[in-house]
Amino acid sequence: MAKAEKAAAIAELKNDFESSNGAVLTEYRGLTVAQLKELRTNLGENARFAVVKNTLTKRAADEAGVDEQFRALLEGPSAIAFVKGDVVEAAKGLRDFAKANPLLVIKGGYIDGQSMDAAEVGKLADLESREVLLAKLAGAMKGSMANAAALFNALPTQAAQLAEALRAKREAEGGETAEAPAAE
């Protein structure tokens, strides 16, 4: 690879590190080209899966300020999924593909300035998507607001019921309503 090509590759990788929300490092040894194409399709539009050279990636990671723990994972044949968007969705796609194709090994990741090992990426994949979490939060907020509205609505209703019960009790005791003494 010529020096100009290396510089261009490093610049592209640095840009990918800086512009993405996260990167998940994998080992792809033994996967066919068709399987890698299927993986790229499964990841969708919010992730770019690229086979990388470790030395060039280490240089790009240094220039981008990526954590030293992430750079230490760059051993053996490496590929990186650069995620722009929902990191959880990409982690799920990689995890599901790795379950179906055990030759894909997730080494770790770099997400929002923090490096993660393979177990932490797995935990991230177990989370529900952002939309589901937001929907649950909205449902919880709506439920508590509905409870508050019911409570505020119950107070005047209970006061009216109490007044009616008191009127009925006085009528039963005296045989007359409170209006009768005022008529005399």
**Side chain identity at residue 20, one-letter code:** S
- Residue 74 φ then ψ, to 5°: -80, 75
Percent of the chain surpassing pLDDT 70: 95
Tokens 């999924």, located at residue: 81
Instruction: Give the model confidence (pLDDT) of 91-132 as tens digits.
Output: 888 888 888 888 888 998 888 778 888 888 888 887 777 778
What burial letters (b/e) apply to 33-60, b meaning 16+ CB within 10 Å?
A: eebbeebbebbeebbbbeebbeebbbbb
Name the pTM for this structure. 0.66
Q: How far apart are CA 68 and CA 181, in angstroms?
A: 91
pLDDT of 180 > 70? The answer is: no
Q: How confident is the model at residue 177 (pLDDT cuts 50, 70, 90)?
A: low
Q: How far apart are CA 104 and CA 79, in angstroms?
A: 10
